[in-house]
Amino acid sequence: MTIQSVGVIGAGQMGNGIAHVFALAGYDVVLTDISAEALDKAMILIGKNLDRQVSKDKISAADREATLGRVRTTVTLAELGQCDLVIEAATERESVKHAIFAELLPHLKPETILASNTSSISITRLASRTDRPERFMGVHFMNPVPVMQLVELIRGIATNEETFSALITVVEKIGKTATRAEDFPAFIVNRILIPMINEAVYTLYEGVGSVKSIDESMKLGANHPMGPLELADFIGLDTCLAIMNVLHDGLADTKYRPCPLLVKYVEAGWLGRKTGRGFYDYAGPEPVPTR
């Protein structure tokens, strides 16, 4: 099963990064989004990230131009139909993902592999709503995609060995390291990471520490490169809450109950860096704690 062309659904922070690494590795990429403006912003960001790689001597200027030349954008989902691999990187809501796959399926080649970049939702359940559960996998990239080395590969109960082997080869070709995770809520990374972030929010909620003291404690006391509340803002508080809800609903364990303060921030639209305000306010030259 040879993969040469890749479709990426969603031009947000994950989708543009996925398009970047595949194009840089030599794949022809079709990037789609419902918003033409989002596609334009994605291409500008890909260019800036490639510039950063050139400045660090990781790639050449010629590599940069060739990479950009391999990415085509479209607002028409059906144009991904002839791709060998299609990776969905839309918002972390299961209903949205089902709707995307339903619209895409009539246009796909029979041999096309479908994948989701979901960070927590059941791969088996997503695959069951398609016409090719045996050629469906979870391919979970870490953020920011061009920098982070890990890709979680998650097989649904119906995923066949040929599909799994093809995706192992793809991950190697784009210069990443694959780890296999079983299809349980939030897989490996987020099963460990997001409850830690949720506990940090509880620590803030209960008045044990301030935003600054919690983040400094984990950076200086546990040698984390980024504090948990700073990291939550980077990921997006809505995404953190969605993953906690998947864990809570899927495992029925009260230890995964989302912190009420996390819920409140999301209700307020304080989602972190992408909205300019979360556990920090990003309006000024330096982030300022909001509590």
Which amino acids are annotated as binding site for NAD(+), given as ranges? 10-15, 33, 92, 97, 119, 143, 274
Query: What SS3 string covers the chain?
Result: CCCCEEEEECCCHHHHHHHHHHHHCCCEEEEECCCHHHHHHHHHHHHHHHHHHHHCCCCCHHHHHHHHHCEEEECCHHHHCCCCEEEECCCCCHHHHHHHHHHHHHHCCCCCEEEECCCCCCHHHHHHCCCCHHHEEEEEECCCCCCCCEEEEEECCCCCHHHHHHHHHHHHHCCCEEEEECCCCCCCHHHHHHHHHHHHHHHHHCCCCCHHHHHHHHHHHCCCCCCHHHHHHHHCHHHHHHHHHHHHHHHCCHHHCCCHHHHHHHHCCCCEHHHCECCEECCCCCCEECC
Q: Which residues are catalytic?
A: 119, 140, 152, 190
Annotated binding residues: 10-15, 33, 92, 97, 119, 143, 274
